[in-house]
Structure 1
């Protein structure tokens, strides 16, 4: 029997796929896009909970950044670091989910004065009989230190204010307008779509009420940006053009996002006299951000609590 593979069984050339994305999006954008498609096509978001989907997305990014860095040397970009910040499940510090309200954040460093951050709280999406998409944004309240009640959505608001360096009065007034870089990301069967906290005034009032509903469904309209669109926006040239990211400084990022996992391989090379690059040498970024080397697998395998089947539901439109 011949060992030669049949033509019909040969998979599309992964190099060609990556080169196509590189031409459209550049190395970082290509890594983002390919990673999202990898997770979706594997059926992870359709079959597994949001924590496993997030972990799969991180793993795909780590892998694809290396490929895209290797094949995209001709498209050098200004960003010298990309990191994933995973918030701890235990504790109540700013590095925890309870303290920040977030599951993870992505960080793109352009300079010490222009470090871009997008914050995500992941939810498994669902659809109704009419084909409309929803995410349940309710989270049971936690008991904090000194009897303080912790509301996830309010913690997200506070964290957004902290990253922007804003004062507390807006927090007390329920102002969400400056939280466009804080996202509820819905993992659906065929897509990953984001709804910004800045668009959730109605849900915020319900969730922070004295007696919140057990189940608060927020509709994710077709106009909601795909995760790939959100990530691509972080690559714009000028900070003023950021719609779904915030630009802050390195000191603020290291204070508020202490657990950073580097997901970007950086190429270092010299150019020949005629301008052509020599053989690249790959190394991990070492331009300043303190990276946590702990394995990202520490947050795998944790399922979210099921919501009671008879829980009252509020469906909200943006």
Structure 2
């Protein structure tokens, strides 16, 4: 029996672990892959307070993990398969068995949203990717497309110019949603070309990606663009299915919490990208994690 069980090892989960373990609560963090979450797939983080120079996502995650271990946080690397109420407590079923907790913090984050077009699933891992940091090096001196217009899309487009000969940014509108400073860097980069008012209709290829079929949203005109890679950044979906029958979700599936990170189920808290909120960044995930751990402590005392 643990005082607190945290599911998810991104910045929110790690911070919750630091605060809970530091409060002398017996705490377990369950992570199915590597710690850091989406932050660990980011080449550089330059807007996290305290770092005058950019820090890599993996390095920041590694430091958080080291700090959490120093305070006594326990880790279980396994896939959490189910969560159920067991009287006043909670049972988490994993591939390694069941663990019980008096309080539960859901910090499972979100996953990339798909285009849901022909060829996307077929060529996943053969030219279709959702992580430029992971796969960018495979496209040295090639032409690639980035789909999206937000911060993540433009940051990854800039990163891809380290390898690719040309990067095409495909956006369904005629202006970007990314913050101005990131836009300016992209516009000044000679390897980046913008294709406005366009959506991907199909990803083309035989054994691997060879191009995309684009549709102009204004005229309906179709055209083909020859590229060897397609990187998709059109938003995220929350990983909330684990507790969908226990807590209230919004229309998009994000967990609804109050200011204390408390969900509709007493004893279950949510933190980070999985919960409903206006801004999803490392700094907000960290804040959520701290509040969730503090609230869990007060819940257990009560």
TM-score greater than 0.5 by the shorter chain: no
TM-score, length-scaled by structure 1: 0.24
TM-score, length-scaled by structure 2: 0.25
Which structure has more strand as a fraction of its residues?
2
